[in-house]
Amino acid sequence: MYDGKKFSILRADENAVRELSSKRGEIVGLDLIVLHDWLITPIIKGKPEEDVSFNASPQEAIARVDNKEFKRAFLVNPFSINDVERKAFEEHKNFPQKSTLFLPKVAEGIVMRKIA
């Protein structure tokens, strides 16, 4: 976590993370889901789509705190492609909104073609 003055390491209790994962029917507790369920969702005031921003760049997140646009930045471990595959294909679960930003970004839109 970065608060504009210093960086702090926040660690969740491993047993509590396992309990949260089990409660949600998940194989593993990913950092962002723990952050969402324990910090963002319970304490957010206002509209999450306006008050919470996801950035792919740690430098941008830090700059937005330094510029007083936000009070805190949480830097979490990135998802691996295996995390995404496990969540989608094994658990059939969704990630929190806007949390699956991958770079380089795949072009948006779908192209369909009839194949005879």
Residue range 53-102, pLDDT digits in tens: 777 788 999 999 999 999 889 888 777 778 777 777 877 777 666 566 65
**Model pLDDT, residue 96:** 64
* Range 41-49 average pLDDT: 70
Q: Is the pLDDT of residue 4 over 90?
A: yes
Cα–Cα distance measured from residue 66 to residue 61, given in angstroms and rounded to the nearest whole number: 9
Angle at 7 between CA 9 and CA 76, to 5 degrees: 55
As a dihedral over the C-alpha atoms of residue 73, residue 103, residue 95, residue 82, rounded to 10 degrees, the angle is: -120
- Which of 19-23, 43-47, 70-74, 105-109 bottoms out in mean pLDDT, i.e. has the lowest? 105-109
Domain positions in the chain: 1-116
Residue 90: both structure tokens together: 């094994």
pTM of the model: 0.64
Cα–Cα distance measured from residue 35 to residue 95, given in angstroms and rounded to the nearest whole number: 12
